[in-house]
Amino acid sequence: MSLELNETFVDIPLGRITGLRSAAAENAPRVLALHGWLDNAASFVPLAKHLSGIELVAVDLPGHGRSVHLPPGAIYTFEMAVHHVLDIADALGWQRFTLLGHSMGAGIASLVAAACPDRIERLVCIEALGGLADEAENTALRMRESVAAMRAIDGKSLRVFPEPGVAIHARMRANAMSEPVARLIVERGMREVPGGWQWSSDPRLMVPTWLRPVDAQVVRVCAGIECPTRVVFADPAQPYLPADVRRRYVDALPHGELLAMAGTHHLHMETPQPVAEWIGPFLAHAD
Protein backbone atom coordinates (compact mmCIF):
# COMPACT_ATOMS: atom_id res chain seq x y z
CA MET A 1 0.00 0.00 0.00
CA SER A 2 1.05 3.57 -0.56
CA LEU A 3 -0.35 7.07 -0.51
CA GLU A 4 -0.85 8.95 -3.77
CA LEU A 5 -0.18 12.64 -3.31
CA ASN A 6 -1.82 15.33 -5.41
CA GLU A 7 -1.45 19.10 -5.57
CA THR A 8 -3.54 21.01 -3.07
CA PHE A 9 -3.79 24.42 -1.41
CA VAL A 10 -5.46 26.19 1.48
CA ASP A 11 -5.86 29.88 2.15
CA ILE A 12 -4.82 31.24 5.54
CA PRO A 13 -4.71 34.86 6.76
CA LEU A 14 -1.15 35.20 5.39
CA GLY A 15 -2.15 33.99 1.91
CA ARG A 16 -2.12 30.79 -0.13
CA ILE A 17 -0.34 27.71 1.20
CA THR A 18 0.40 25.03 -1.38
CA GLY A 19 1.20 21.39 -0.81
CA LEU A 20 0.56 17.74 -1.59
CA ARG A 21 -2.39 15.76 -0.22
CA SER A 22 -3.51 12.15 -0.19
CA ALA A 23 -7.12 11.06 -0.53
CA ALA A 24 -9.28 11.60 2.54
CA ALA A 25 -10.13 8.11 3.80
CA GLU A 26 -13.04 7.91 6.22
CA ASN A 27 -11.94 7.96 9.88
CA ALA A 28 -8.26 7.84 8.88
CA PRO A 29 -5.89 9.72 11.21
CA ARG A 30 -5.04 13.17 9.88
CA VAL A 31 -1.32 13.88 9.51
CA LEU A 32 0.18 17.29 8.72
CA ALA A 33 3.75 17.04 7.44
CA LEU A 34 6.26 19.89 7.86
CA HIS A 35 9.48 19.89 5.84
CA GLY A 36 12.95 21.15 6.68
CA TRP A 37 14.64 24.49 6.05
CA LEU A 38 14.77 25.38 2.33
CA ASP A 39 13.00 22.11 1.45
CA ASN A 40 9.32 21.81 0.50
CA ALA A 41 6.38 19.40 0.43
CA ALA A 42 8.20 17.08 -2.00
CA SER A 43 10.34 16.07 0.98
CA PHE A 44 7.63 13.56 1.90
CA VAL A 45 7.00 12.02 -1.53
CA PRO A 46 9.38 9.04 -1.04
CA LEU A 47 8.00 8.33 2.44
CA ALA A 48 4.38 8.49 1.27
CA LYS A 49 5.04 5.55 -1.05
CA HIS A 50 5.51 3.38 2.05
CA LEU A 51 2.66 4.73 4.19
CA SER A 52 -1.01 3.80 4.35
CA GLY A 53 -4.04 4.16 6.60
CA ILE A 54 -3.68 7.92 7.07
CA GLU A 55 -4.72 11.15 5.40
CA LEU A 56 -1.49 13.03 4.71
CA VAL A 57 -1.14 16.72 3.90
CA ALA A 58 2.44 17.85 3.25
CA VAL A 59 2.64 21.63 2.95
CA ASP A 60 5.11 24.11 1.55
CA LEU A 61 5.68 26.23 4.63
CA PRO A 62 5.47 30.02 4.11
CA GLY A 63 8.42 31.25 2.09
CA HIS A 64 9.12 27.78 0.68
CA GLY A 65 8.16 25.91 -2.45
CA ARG A 66 5.09 27.45 -4.06
CA SER A 67 3.60 29.01 -0.93
CA VAL A 68 3.14 32.68 -0.10
CA HIS A 69 6.04 34.73 1.26
CA LEU A 70 5.80 37.01 4.26
CA PRO A 71 4.91 40.63 3.47
CA PRO A 72 7.73 43.18 2.98
CA GLY A 73 9.48 44.13 6.20
CA ALA A 74 8.50 40.94 8.06
CA ILE A 75 10.90 38.25 9.20
CA TYR A 76 10.52 34.51 9.71
CA THR A 77 10.34 33.38 13.33
CA PHE A 78 9.48 30.09 15.00
CA GLU A 79 6.74 31.78 16.99
CA MET A 80 4.98 32.84 13.81
CA ALA A 81 5.60 29.42 12.28
CA VAL A 82 3.55 27.88 15.09
CA HIS A 83 0.65 30.17 14.22
CA HIS A 84 1.02 29.40 10.52
CA VAL A 85 0.73 25.67 11.25
CA LEU A 86 -2.38 26.25 13.36
CA ASP A 87 -3.83 28.45 10.61
CA ILE A 88 -3.25 25.65 8.10
CA ALA A 89 -4.94 23.12 10.37
CA ASP A 90 -7.86 25.49 10.86
CA ALA A 91 -8.18 25.96 7.09
CA LEU A 92 -8.25 22.18 6.67
CA GLY A 93 -10.97 21.95 9.31
CA TRP A 94 -8.74 19.85 11.57
CA GLN A 95 -9.22 20.39 15.29
CA ARG A 96 -7.16 17.35 16.33
CA PHE A 97 -4.35 15.96 14.19
CA THR A 98 -0.90 14.36 14.13
CA LEU A 99 2.29 16.21 13.20
CA LEU A 100 5.13 14.71 11.16
CA GLY A 101 8.19 16.91 10.83
CA HIS A 102 11.69 16.77 9.40
CA SER A 103 14.56 18.98 10.62
CA MET A 104 13.24 22.55 10.92
CA GLY A 105 9.74 21.15 10.46
CA ALA A 106 10.32 18.78 13.37
CA GLY A 107 11.42 21.71 15.51
CA ILE A 108 8.27 23.65 14.60
CA ALA A 109 6.13 20.56 15.20
CA SER A 110 7.69 20.18 18.66
CA LEU A 111 6.76 23.76 19.53
CA VAL A 112 3.18 23.30 18.31
CA ALA A 113 2.82 20.09 20.34
CA ALA A 114 4.19 21.74 23.48
CA ALA A 115 2.15 24.93 23.07
CA CYS A 116 -1.15 23.31 22.01
CA PRO A 117 -1.39 19.85 23.61
CA ASP A 118 -5.17 19.83 23.15
CA ARG A 119 -4.78 19.80 19.36
CA ILE A 120 -1.98 17.31 18.74
CA GLU A 121 -2.76 13.58 18.88
CA ARG A 122 0.68 12.21 18.03
CA LEU A 123 4.05 13.56 17.00
CA VAL A 124 6.79 12.16 14.77
CA CYS A 125 10.07 14.08 14.58
CA ILE A 126 12.83 13.22 12.12
CA GLU A 127 16.31 14.68 12.65
CA ALA A 128 15.27 17.34 15.17
CA LEU A 129 13.40 17.69 18.43
CA GLY A 130 12.48 20.74 20.48
CA GLY A 131 14.81 23.17 18.68
CA LEU A 132 18.44 24.16 18.41
CA ALA A 133 19.93 25.60 21.58
CA ASP A 134 22.70 28.16 21.91
CA GLU A 135 24.88 29.45 24.70
CA ALA A 136 23.68 32.60 26.45
CA GLU A 137 27.11 34.13 25.85
CA ASN A 138 26.36 34.21 22.10
CA THR A 139 23.22 36.36 22.47
CA ALA A 140 24.59 39.74 21.37
CA LEU A 141 26.69 38.24 18.55
CA ARG A 142 23.68 36.34 17.19
CA MET A 143 21.55 39.50 17.28
CA ARG A 144 24.21 41.46 15.40
CA GLU A 145 24.52 38.77 12.71
CA SER A 146 20.76 38.64 12.28
CA VAL A 147 20.36 42.41 11.97
CA ALA A 148 23.25 42.72 9.53
CA ALA A 149 21.90 39.92 7.31
CA MET A 150 18.38 41.35 7.27
CA ARG A 151 19.58 44.86 6.44
CA ALA A 152 21.62 43.48 3.52
CA ILE A 153 18.78 41.53 1.89
CA ASP A 154 17.59 44.30 -0.40
CA GLY A 155 21.02 44.72 -1.94
CA LYS A 156 21.39 41.10 -3.01
CA SER A 157 20.29 39.66 -6.34
CA LEU A 158 19.15 36.06 -6.70
CA ARG A 159 21.35 33.70 -8.66
CA VAL A 160 19.96 32.63 -12.03
CA PHE A 161 20.74 29.04 -13.03
CA PRO A 162 20.89 28.27 -16.78
CA GLU A 163 18.84 25.12 -16.18
CA PRO A 164 17.57 23.17 -13.14
CA GLY A 165 20.26 20.50 -13.45
CA VAL A 166 22.89 22.95 -12.23
CA ALA A 167 20.84 23.66 -9.09
CA ILE A 168 20.23 19.96 -8.55
CA HIS A 169 23.94 19.24 -8.49
CA ALA A 170 24.54 22.23 -6.21
CA ARG A 171 21.98 20.85 -3.76
CA MET A 172 23.54 17.38 -3.97
CA ARG A 173 26.90 18.80 -2.95
CA ALA A 174 25.50 21.02 -0.20
CA ASN A 175 23.35 18.40 1.51
CA ALA A 176 24.90 15.03 0.58
CA MET A 177 21.76 14.13 -1.39
CA SER A 178 21.41 11.58 -4.15
CA GLU A 179 20.31 12.90 -7.55
CA PRO A 180 16.67 11.64 -7.42
CA VAL A 181 16.16 13.10 -3.94
CA ALA A 182 17.72 16.46 -4.80
CA ARG A 183 15.65 16.60 -7.97
CA LEU A 184 12.39 16.24 -6.03
CA ILE A 185 13.23 19.19 -3.81
CA VAL A 186 14.73 21.40 -6.51
CA GLU A 187 12.00 20.95 -9.12
CA ARG A 188 9.37 22.06 -6.63
CA GLY A 189 11.58 24.82 -5.27
CA MET A 190 12.46 26.70 -8.48
CA ARG A 191 10.70 29.07 -10.84
CA GLU A 192 11.47 29.98 -14.43
CA VAL A 193 12.67 33.54 -14.99
CA PRO A 194 14.21 35.39 -17.96
CA GLY A 195 17.57 33.77 -18.62
CA GLY A 196 17.02 30.61 -16.61
CA TRP A 197 15.78 29.47 -13.22
CA GLN A 198 15.79 30.85 -9.68
CA TRP A 199 14.97 29.46 -6.26
CA SER A 200 11.37 30.29 -5.37
CA SER A 201 12.11 30.37 -1.65
CA ASP A 202 12.15 33.71 0.16
CA PRO A 203 15.71 35.08 0.59
CA ARG A 204 14.77 36.18 4.11
CA LEU A 205 14.85 32.52 5.13
CA MET A 206 18.64 32.86 5.04
CA VAL A 207 18.64 35.45 7.82
CA PRO A 208 20.09 33.91 11.02
CA THR A 209 17.67 33.41 13.88
CA TRP A 210 17.55 36.50 16.12
CA LEU A 211 17.62 34.50 19.38
CA ARG A 212 17.91 30.82 20.16
CA PRO A 213 16.76 29.18 23.39
CA VAL A 214 19.29 27.92 25.89
CA ASP A 215 19.56 24.18 26.43
CA ALA A 216 17.37 24.14 29.54
CA GLN A 217 14.52 25.74 27.59
CA VAL A 218 14.67 23.10 24.86
CA VAL A 219 14.51 20.40 27.52
CA ARG A 220 11.40 22.03 29.00
CA VAL A 221 9.79 22.21 25.55
CA CYS A 222 10.33 18.47 25.16
CA ALA A 223 8.99 17.86 28.65
CA GLY A 224 5.87 19.80 27.68
CA ILE A 225 5.02 17.54 24.75
CA GLU A 226 2.21 15.47 26.23
CA CYS A 227 1.26 13.32 23.23
CA PRO A 228 2.85 9.98 22.25
CA THR A 229 5.99 10.79 20.28
CA ARG A 230 8.41 8.91 18.07
CA VAL A 231 11.76 10.40 17.10
CA VAL A 232 14.03 9.22 14.29
CA PHE A 233 17.66 10.33 14.14
CA ALA A 234 20.34 9.49 11.61
CA ASP A 235 23.53 7.82 12.74
CA PRO A 236 26.08 9.39 12.80
CA ALA A 237 24.60 12.44 14.49
CA GLN A 238 24.73 15.90 12.97
CA PRO A 239 27.51 18.11 14.44
CA TYR A 240 25.00 20.72 15.63
CA LEU A 241 22.99 18.11 17.57
CA PRO A 242 25.37 15.56 19.12
CA ALA A 243 24.10 12.11 20.10
CA ASP A 244 24.23 12.80 23.85
CA VAL A 245 22.21 16.02 23.47
CA ARG A 246 19.50 14.50 21.32
CA ARG A 247 19.26 11.53 23.68
CA ARG A 248 18.73 13.92 26.57
CA TYR A 249 15.94 15.69 24.67
CA VAL A 250 14.20 12.40 23.92
CA ASP A 251 14.54 11.34 27.57
CA ALA A 252 12.66 14.51 28.56
CA LEU A 253 9.60 13.44 26.55
CA PRO A 254 6.81 12.10 28.79
CA HIS A 255 5.84 9.50 26.15
CA GLY A 256 8.75 9.32 23.74
CA GLU A 257 10.57 6.62 21.79
CA LEU A 258 13.80 6.95 19.83
CA LEU A 259 15.07 5.11 16.76
CA ALA A 260 18.60 5.86 15.59
CA MET A 261 19.44 4.33 12.23
CA ALA A 262 22.27 4.59 9.75
CA GLY A 263 21.64 7.34 7.26
CA THR A 264 22.03 10.96 6.25
CA HIS A 265 20.10 14.06 7.30
CA HIS A 266 17.47 13.33 4.63
CA LEU A 267 17.11 9.67 5.60
CA HIS A 268 13.31 9.87 5.24
CA MET A 269 13.93 10.49 1.54
CA GLU A 270 17.04 8.40 0.95
CA THR A 271 15.93 5.35 2.96
CA PRO A 272 12.17 5.81 3.32
CA GLN A 273 11.13 2.19 3.76
CA PRO A 274 12.80 1.45 7.13
CA VAL A 275 11.68 4.84 8.42
CA ALA A 276 8.12 4.12 7.32
CA GLU A 277 8.18 0.66 8.89
CA TRP A 278 8.72 2.24 12.31
CA ILE A 279 6.58 5.35 12.08
CA GLY A 280 3.83 4.09 9.73
CA PRO A 281 1.87 1.98 12.22
CA PHE A 282 2.29 4.72 14.82
CA LEU A 283 0.85 7.36 12.48
CA ALA A 284 -2.04 5.05 11.54
CA HIS A 285 -2.75 4.25 15.22
CA ALA A 286 -2.07 0.60 14.40
CA ASP A 287 0.93 0.18 16.70
pLDDT for 252 equals 98
Q: Is the dihedral of CA 187, 189, 192, 197 positive or negative?
A: negative
pLDDT per residue as tens digits for the range 154-206: 878 889 999 999 999 999 999 999 999 999 999 999 999 999 999 999 999 99
Beta bridge partners of 235: 262
| CATH class of the domain at 6-134+214-283 | alpha beta
Mean pLDDT of 212-216: 97
| 25 vs 244 pLDDT, higher one | 244
Q: What is the pLDDT of residue 154?
A: 84
Residue 44 or residue 155, greater confidence: 44
pTM, to two decimals: 0.97
Instruction: Give the per-residue pLDDT at 24.
Output: 82
What is the percentage of the chain residues whose pLDDT exceeds 70? 100
Mean per-residue pLDDT, 255-274: 97
- For residues 113 and 119, the answer to whether their CB atoms sit within 8 Å is no
Residue 81: the pLDDT is 98
Kind and range of the H or E element at 195?
none
- Residue 235 is predicted with a pLDDT of 96
pLDDT for the residue numbered 156 = 81
Per-residue pLDDT at 286:
81
pLDDT category, 26, cuts 50, 70, 90? confident
